Structure formats: structure tokens, C-alpha cells
Chains A and B, each alone.
Chain A
Amino acid sequence: MSSPSLSIDCALGEFDPISALQTVKTEADWIGLRYSSETHHHRSARNGHMESNQVLQSRGVMIEALVGGQIAYAATSNLSPQGINQAARIATEIAQATAKQRRSDLSIQQRPAGVARHEGPSRIPLDQIRLEDFTSHLIQATQRLKVSDAIVTAVAEATLVESVTHYVTSSGADLRQQHLLSYQNFGAIAAEGSETQQRSLNGPTARCLQSGLESFNWDELLDECERTGQEALALLKAENCPDETMDLILSPDQMLLQIHESIGHPLELDRILGDERNYAGWSFVKPEDFGSLQYGSPLMNVVFDPGLSGEFASYAFDDGGAPAKREYLIREGLLIRGLGGLESQSRSGIPGVANFRSSGWNRAPIDRMANINLEPGNSSFEAMLSQVERGVFMQSNRSWSIDDYRNKFQFGCEYAQLIEEGRITRVLKNPNYRGITLPFWHSLAAVGQSDTFRMYGTPYCGKGEPNQMIRVGHASPTCLFKNIEVFGGDR
């Protein structure tokens, strides 16, 4: 027997959504079937030992039934003709039962009937590495992170996800999409006396891409692990970030969070329409703001870009079958478009994007972010520094919180450096900053050029009732903000 690879040799059996849909007998006006299959491979090592070897397979279908202007949903992992028909019957009954109390009129106009096949850009599949070699690299990574006895925890974690969705409808949609995705988390915790500090490669699990094994360049990763371990040690000796109002430069691995929380979520049309009011909250953005609200500095150009190759939440069609294309959300600081799929666009009359997405087979789609990116500007990093008399350069998210209207935020980072008279002078620990969304984005004073532009993401964007954890991508250059309230730790 050959040595096992990272690939799993007991794939789930075949399922043909088109044939399954043909077997459905229903009284509904229209019916849709979304098949989703995901296999998550999770491997992690800590302090020189493997800690987790996990392969989780998940698959099932979500049936949608349209009756009297209401669409209802029924999810099942029973993929037999009986199971599918049972789900179709339940979805139809629920749509009938709730049609009179429906929030808005829905129709097949919100379920376009495209036919396409789409495959993500991954190049090296999971069967191209032996399992023992992959785990050995992870263990080695923890050893390289441990640059000193003061490193009490060194973690190397990799997740690879094989994802297939296939959406078919009684009106003719037939859309199959397949992606391979990877997430990485490499981090060290250093402790000495009463001090403890953490440092990771770009923040915990920010390295998220649509890619196969090509994102694991072990020579580079191991070198980065060593640098990360050294930075954790440096933080032990660093002074606290000062408490004062000063200039702030944010690296792309913190901009990901800033964009996510203070641009992405407030622009979601379902939030603006009030669907999310009982959970994550509403939005300070009003329907009348589109086309008139100056969201931030004229340097600010923000796009919904589902087609940036390799970015974490790229796709060709959303889960309602709408074709996905790049759109400006904010241009030269002016708010022009919301983040809402065809249902929200129909309900609100606001221009949106193809972002009606579900986290898996057992959840109905809602408006989600996907890839939201800040376009590069024309400042070099050196030019940005030269504009700062006294400020802080912060990297890698560590803490995040924002209010339910997406106004008052407070974010913390792992690592910072003091800037004095245009030069980086020393390392600072416990860097945090706080602000209010619109004034903050109006304080954007410089946007890095394309050589500072980086892609990150997170698999953990939470929203919706029932709750859904979904993948999002955020790419950004390094940015400079003027006169921001920054502060440090208690000690």
C-alpha cells in the first residue's frame, strides 16, 4: 500500500442534482435544489507534537420552494429520492403556511436561470504531498517558532477545504462551482515574568486563500515562523503603546478587519432593511445614502470583487444563481452601491451585487460580504512614513469590537512600531485604537501603492438567524490615517 497523502480516499458517493430535481413531485410554483459538499482537512501541531488530525465531510441539499410570493427552505442530508421529496414537501408546506405573513414578494426574478461550470484557481491538489511530510513540516514550524525558552506556545495549523456546490432549479438554472481553499495559522506566545505576548503570521487565521498546496511554500513559511518567534520575544521587552491622539499606519493584515467591520457590514442591504436587527444589528447607513453619502476621504475606492484570482471568497455565481461581477461600492469616498443580492435589491430598490450566500447546505442564503477590497493608491510606504511626525504603525489583528449600527469601534493589534519624525524607532506592545466609522474613513490621508497590496481573509464571519459562519476575503494596501485615538495596555 502506498503512503497516504493529504487527500482522503473514501470520498462521498456521487450525487446528481439534475436527476434528483427531476424526481421531485411538488405543488410549488417553482423549486430549487442546492447541493453542497465540503471536506475540511485540519492538521495542527503544538510545541513539537501533532495535536489535531481531522477530516470532516459534510454534504446535503437545500430545497427552495416558491408558493404565493414566498420562498421557504428545507435542508436534508438524506439524498435518496424519498429524502429529497420529503424536503420538497416540507419546503412547499412552509411556503404555503407563511405566504400570508411574508415580509416581501419574491419571485423567480430573484433566481436567474444561468448554466455554467466554474472551478477555482488552485494548482496543486492534496494528493501531491505525503501525509507524513505535511505533518513533519507543521511540527518543524513549531520548532522554528520556538526561538527561545520564553516561547511557551508555538502553534502551526493548516486547514484545506474541498468545496463543491451545484444549484439547479425548475426554471433551468444549472450552476456548478468547485473550489479548493486553504487557511493557515502560525503563531507564538512568549512569556517572561508577568508579561505574555502573542505574535502570529498576519494574525490568527488571516492567511486565507483559494489555493491548494501551492500556498504552503515551506522554506518561506519556516523563515517567517522564526521571524514571528523573534517578534514575540521583542514584544516582551517593548514599552506599551502610548495613549494619545496621533497618526496611524495600518498594514493590510489589520486593514482586513477595518474594511470588514466598518465598510462591509454596514453596507449589507439586509441589515439596512432590518433583517439582522435581532442579532448583529442594524446599520447607520440609510437607503437614501446611496449616491449621496461621502463615506470617507476621496482616496477611498472600495470594490466588491468576486473575481480576484486566489482571493478567499471568489466565485462566479452566488447561491441564488446571480452572476457575480466586480462593482464599486465606494468611489472617491462616495457611497454608490450596497452589498445585497437580488432579493434585497428588489426589496430596497438599491443597486447591489451578487452576494446572496449560504455557509453550507443547511442554511438559506442571505446577504454576505464575499471579497471587499480597498484599491491601491499612489503612496509608497516610505512616503507614508515621511508624512508622520509622531505616530504608530500597527500590524495583525488581535482584538475587534464594533457597535450594532457599525459606528463606534475598538480594534487591537499584535505588533506595533513607533514612528518619530518619519522614521520607525521602536517596537510597542498592546497597540489599540478606537474611532467612529465615518470620521475615521475621512481621516484617510494616504493609500499605499500596489506593492503594499495584500490579500487576506477569514473563515469566521458570523451573521444571520439561524447563524452562519462564512468565508470572506479582504485585500488592501497599507494606509495612513491622521489624528486617531490610540492607546496601550494597563501595564
Chain B
Amino acid sequence: MSTASSRIEDFGRLAQSAFARLSDHEDLGLSFSGEEQNYVRFNQGHVRQATHVDQQRITLDFRRDDRRLVLGFDLSGSFSADQTQLAALIAHARAESQVLPKDPFVTPLKNHGEGHEAHPGTAPSVGTLSNAIFRASSTIDLAGLYAGGVQYRATANSKGTFRSFSSESFFLDHSIYTLNADGENKAVKGLYAGHVFEEDGLHAALAESCEKLPALNRKNRSLPRGSYRVFLAPQAVEALVGMLSWGAVSHGAFQRGECALEGLARGESSLSPLFSLKENFKLGLSPRFTATGAVSPEELLLIEEGQLRTLLIHERTAKEYGLTANGASSGEGLRSPEILTGDLDPADTLKRLGTGIYLGNLHYLNWSERKTARLTGMTRYACFWVEDGEIIAPIKDLRFDESLYRIFGSELEAVTRQSLRLPETDTYQERSLGGSQVPGMLIRDFRFTL
């Protein structure tokens, strides 16, 4: 953790030097994001590309006379050069603020206090890792991405806030491919993640993924489009929960006419009494503070037994619509969602499904009609036709087009008693923090269209 703590310390010093440059009526928030990561991409168990990334970025949130500007730059590693660039950007922001029109929805920066959270870990060297995966995948066709190392975030503002979060962790997000009895490629998806990489853990994770291969190797069952009873494994539920961050639980989106759960938000519709959703920062996967330093509640219940309790409300949305902010980030997306568990014993999943489709994963979801929370996507990976509680065959992939009001509402029959913690694996620009905790779900009627 020394890299993270020393860089957060340097950030604190840079921040203080920046705050000293402010004039009257000016405020400044600084957010800091960085990582030192190894990214190793595997194809057929071999290393396709390996990349080490060392990056640090500061974003300035400059306020003056009801104007707001956001500026950012990559730190160079030279304290004095970064200090100079920061000062130049503040001067630029000051000049711009004198000609920009007033922004009626700017909120004042506040002192949100100090707090520092660190999650130490040990990531392997690239050599150790690639050798381990090469050995472990000698008899399987593995494709995937390993990401491991230190991630850190911090925020400070001229009102006195200084908060940081750091984590050293890894994941191996992988697919194991096989050719089934019809000569069709089939695959199972798996994730090995944690703070301390162990070769035994790697073997156990791959072995667990491989357990589904014999069933995938059977001949396909080609199903006609139509409605089926389905079980959504936690990874499939996670994909649906991911869509909620595309405006479905955002108060700003609701006001703009872009909220997929508008009916729920208006109290005109409800979801199933079996469905409850909360933001849960106790999962430890994501910092509780936002870019402005506001600290989210440790837990925030959004939907309780099918009824909306609150949407996510950022400070700016609160100002615009006369509400109280609830610690949401500016995008008003979920950062640490948890769907509460139900009473379905995971061991009884197939029995309760009876005859229908087991969906291991979903792929490429998008709203097909946002207004009615209708979304489309594909089945992917380990998806099986089940008869009388027994897996019969892998299915040929199907396209679905369904509404969340049915999936999480009228057609939701049961929720599993256990849930899975799934850390975020996105790596756009930098490795993401966050993740979710989700159970499996039994759905009475699910519509496939192609």
C-alpha cells in the first residue's frame, strides 16, 4: 500500500498548494484517481498482450460566483511541474468564469470532513501469474483478462474535505471454451477475484468453472422463440442490475423524461414484493465519498418489497428540483448495489424451475423501449434447457425482449437465499472500483423474440 499512501499524501500537498492560490469568492474541489496495474490478456491460456499501467489524474472543480468549471490533467510525477500545471488551470478557470453565464444549479462546496479507507492486498508479478495460468489451463481453452495491483481515489476541497480510498486487489475474468457434440463452440464464464492471489485459489476457481463443461458438451437444444419459465443465475441478474444505472434509478433522469422506471417513480406501478434494492457500501468495493467529497449513507434503501423508497439524488439535481441529496454521484448510477435475498434454496433451483431455461449469463443489454423499462439482450455462456429439474442440453442462444416490470415484478416467483458478491471488472480508461451483491431469480414467464 506504500504506493497508494505516498501518492495520496502527494495529492494532499498539491491540493493545499492549489487552495492557497484561490482568491475571495472562489472554491476548489480536487478529485484524484490513480492506479498501478498489470493487465494480462490470455487467449488459449497463452499471453496475448501484457500491459503495465501507471497513471494518476487530477480533476479540478472550480467554483466562482455561481459558475462552475471542470478541468483535468494527468500527473507527470514531478511535483513542481504538476503544481505549475494546477496553478495554470486555476488561472484559466478564473478567466473563463468571468465570461461564462451564471449556472443556477451550482451547489456550494462543503467540508465533508476527513476519512481514509485502505484495503491492502498482494498481487502477483506478471511472471508468476502467467506461469500459474499457463499451467492451470494446459488442458482447457481459456480466454480472459487478469487485472491486478493498486487503485486509489481521493478528494479534497478548499472547505477542508480530505477523503481517500485505496485497494490492492486482482481479478481473473475468464471464459473456458469447448466444442459440443454439434460442433458448436460453447463456453462458461468465471471470475477469480480477491486481495491475495493464491495458486490454489486459481485452480479451485477454474475447476468450479469447468464443472459445467460436461453439460455444455451435449448436443444443442434449439428452442423456438416464445415465452419460457427461466432461472436467472446471479451473473445474469447482475447484468440486469447494471441497466438500472442507465437512468432507471436517477432522479435527474426522471425529471428529464429519461427514467426507465418512471411508472414506479410516479407510484403508478410497482415491482414484486420479493424485490428489494439498496446501495450498500458495507460491501467495501467502492469509496463512499463522491467527487465533491459528499459521503453516501452506508446503506440506502431504494426499492423495498417492490415499492420505490427513493431515487438517487445528486446535489445538483437536489438544487434544481428542490430536493435533498442522498449521496449520489453526479451520474446518479448505482455504485455498490445489493439485491436482497429471498427464500429459494440454491440447491433447489433446478427442481423449482422444473421445465424451462437456466440462464447463466446475459449479453449486450440495451433499452428497447425505455418508457416501459423494456430491454433486449442475448443469452450467453452456460445456458441450459431443463426438464423436470434436470439439465437436458445447452441451448442455442436466444434474444429476449422483456420489461423490468415483469422480470423484477409480476413474473418474479422466487429469489435465492444466497447471493454472490461480484466485483466490477470494467477497465475503461482505468480499472473500475465497485461491484454488486446479487442473488439468483426464478421467473415464471420470460419472452424470447429471436
Contact = CB atoms under 8 A, between A and B. Distances in A.
Contact of B78 (A80, A189, A190): A80
Interface string A1-13: 1011000111011
A400 to B, nearest CB: 6
Interface residues of B, dominant DSSP: strand
Given A403-B399, A434-B449, A410 B74 contact: no
Contacts of A468: 428
B71 A101 contact: no
B77 A491 contact: no
B368 A364 contact: no
B245 to A, nearest CB: 15
Contacts of B449: 410, 434
A94 B126 contact: yes
Task: For the complex of A and B, list the 7 residue pairs with the smallest distance between their C-beta atoms, beginning with the closest.
Answer: A78-B77, A97-B127, A10-B88, A466-B427, A465-B145, A77-B74, A103-B46
A94 B52 contact: yes
Contacts of B41: 275, 465
Contact of B126 (A55, A56, A98, A402): A98
Interface residues of A, dominant DSSP: mixed
Interface of A: 1, 3-4, 8-10, 12-13, 49-60, 70-80, 83, 87, 90-91, 93-98, 100-104, 130-132, 135-136, 139, 152-153, 189-191, 195-196, 198, 273-275, 277-279, 281-282, 360, 362-364, 366, 399-404, 408, 410, 412, 430, 432, 434, 436, 462, 465-469, 489-491
B73 A408 contact: no
B43 A275 contact: yes
Interface stretch (B99-107, B273-281, B302-310): B99-107
B125 interface: yes
Contacts of A430: 369
A8 B145 contact: no
A412 B96 CA distance: 40
B122 interface: no
Given A56-B72, A76-B55, A80-B76, A274 B43 contact: yes
| B74, B147, B376, B449 — most chain A CB neighbours (10 Å) | B74
A131 B99 CA distance: 7
Nearest to A358: B51
Contacts of B429: 360, 362, 467, 469
Band of interface residues on B? 35 or more
Given A53-B70, A57-B73, A401 B378 contact: yes
Given A93-B126, A401-B364, 7 more contacts: A10-B91, A56-B71, A362-B55, A399-B367, A465-B144, A466-B431, A469-B428
A316 B450 CA distance: 41
Nearest to B381: A404
B52 A80 contact: no
Contacts of A56: 59, 70-73
Contact of B368 (A9, A363, A410): A410
Contacts of B104: 49
A196 B78 CA distance: 52
Interface in B109-141: 125-127, 130-131, 133-134
Contacts of A360: 429
B363 A73 contact: no
A109 B252 CA distance: 53
A73 B256 contact: no
A277 B143 contact: yes
A490 B369 contact: yes
B378 A4 contact: no
